[in-house]
């Protein structure tokens, strides 16, 4: 884990960018945080299915933090260029290496184990740092914004 306390209220995004959102959460705030993330991500330029997918991925991460990561966590959302990032940290006991290395879809009859898999599937990139003092997951979603397509000539 980094030297920055992931639950420190003054923490900024890892690249020093001022966050669009920096919030602590617990079980009572999951729904509120999800709605706030939706509004911030939409204002940052994410829309349609990409917005829905990114918010669902974040919801899975904050739910995991509450259920498995000590009951509370810290979320930071920021934009760098044409990418939207979300960092979710908790103070739980960490995630085992075997679980982190698992890339297969969970069996449909299994009630748990879907959170990390879904977050990985619904975001462009997912990085996880985990140890006995907690877990931090960073996901990203591209906003597009490339050059305008050239209209066909003719």
pLDDT at residue 101, rounded to an integer: 74
Say which DSSP state 77 is in.
E
Range name among 13-17, 58-62, 67-71, 119-123 with the lowest pLDDT average: 13-17
Q: What domains are defined for the chain?
A: 21-105+112-142 (3.30.565.10)
Contact 95, 139 (CB under 8 A): no
Contact 58, 86 (CB under 8 A): yes
**pTM as predicted:** 0.82
- Beta bridge partners, 135, equal 130
């Amino acid at each position: 884990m980094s030297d920055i306390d992931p639950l420190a209220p003054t923490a900024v995004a890892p690249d020093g960018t001022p966050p669009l959102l920096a919030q602590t959460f617990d079980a009572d705030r999951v729904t509120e945080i999800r709605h706030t993330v939706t509004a911030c991500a939409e204002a940052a330029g994410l829309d349609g299915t990409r917005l829905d997918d990114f918010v669902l991925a974040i919801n899975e991460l904050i739910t995991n933090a509450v259920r498995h990561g000590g009951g509370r966590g810290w979320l930071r959302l920021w934009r760098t260029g044409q990418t939207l990032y979300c960092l979710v940290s908790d103070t739980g006991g960490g995630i085992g290496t075997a679980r982190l290395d698992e890339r297969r879809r969970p069996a449909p009859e299994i009630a748990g184990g879907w959170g990390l898999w879904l977050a990985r599937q619904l975001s462009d990139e997912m990085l996880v740092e985990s140890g006995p003092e907690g877990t931090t997951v960073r996901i990203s979603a591209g906003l597009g914004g490339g050059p305008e397509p050239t209209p066909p000539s003719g």
